[in-house]
Amino acid sequence: MNPEVAVIMGSTSDWETMKFACQSLDELAINYEKRVISAHRTPDLMFDFSEKARTRGVKVIIAGAGGAAHLPGMVAAKTTLPVIGVPVQSSTLNGLDSLLSIVQMPGGIPVATTAIGKAGATNAGLLAAQMLSMYDKNIALRLEKKRQQMTETVLESSEQLG
Ligand code: RP5
């Protein structure tokens, strides 16, 4: 079965963050692929991947990168699929550099940017699932169930406070 979501990242060092996007997709039983594609180190591969993604059946691209994080924006420039950008927390500037590099796209080429780090990666997986759920009732049902579980967990933890 062709992957509906592509999770790409600029470096293997991004995996510690991007694994949370994959975790969200795993929990919702969504078929995805994961690949390291660098805007700076493998630009030709980045273009090739972006140009072919739609014809390969990919519906949403999640792209995580840190520092001068060009990957999500450059991928978005080469495809009309929705691109979700995840700013990876960098060691020097704590991910503010990544966030600003990804979020400030010029008008015309959108990238849906999430929060920095783990929460952003988790939400990227969920947001991709929510996009797919517009045309897939089963995914919509799984999302509803997950929300209910979250609500129950909060209510239970609140009761434990006494
Ligand atoms: C970016 O540079 C990557 O997305 C990564 O976040 C950062 C550092 O990469 P490495 O030097 O760890 O490979 O392109």
Q: Decide: helix, strand or coil at residue 68.
A: coil
Write the class of the CATH domain 5-136: alpha beta
Q: Which residues pair with 87 in a beta bridge?
A: 65
pLDDT score for 1: 76
Binding residue per annotation — 97?
Answer: no
**Cβ(117) – ligand 1 distance below 6 Å:** no
Atom number in ligand 1 closest to CA 41: 14
Q: What is the pTM of this model?
A: 0.97
**pLDDT for residue 154 is more than 90:** yes
Instruction: Say if residues 93 and 100 touch (Cβ distance below 8 Å).
Output: no
Rounded Cα distance, 52 and 56, in Å: 6
Instruction: Say if residues 135 and 125 touch (Cβ distance below 8 Å).
Output: no
**pLDDT for residue 108 is more than 80:** yes
Residues 124-145 have pLDDT tens digits of 999 999 999 999 999 999 999 9
Compute the average pLDDT of residues 27-38.
Answer: 98
> Phi and psi at residue 9, in whole multiples of 5°?
-150, 155
Q: Decide: helix, strand or coil at residue 66.
A: strand
The share of the chain scoring above pLDDT 90, in percent, equals: 96
Number of residues in the chain: 162
As given in the structure block, the two tokens for residue 30 are: 């969504």
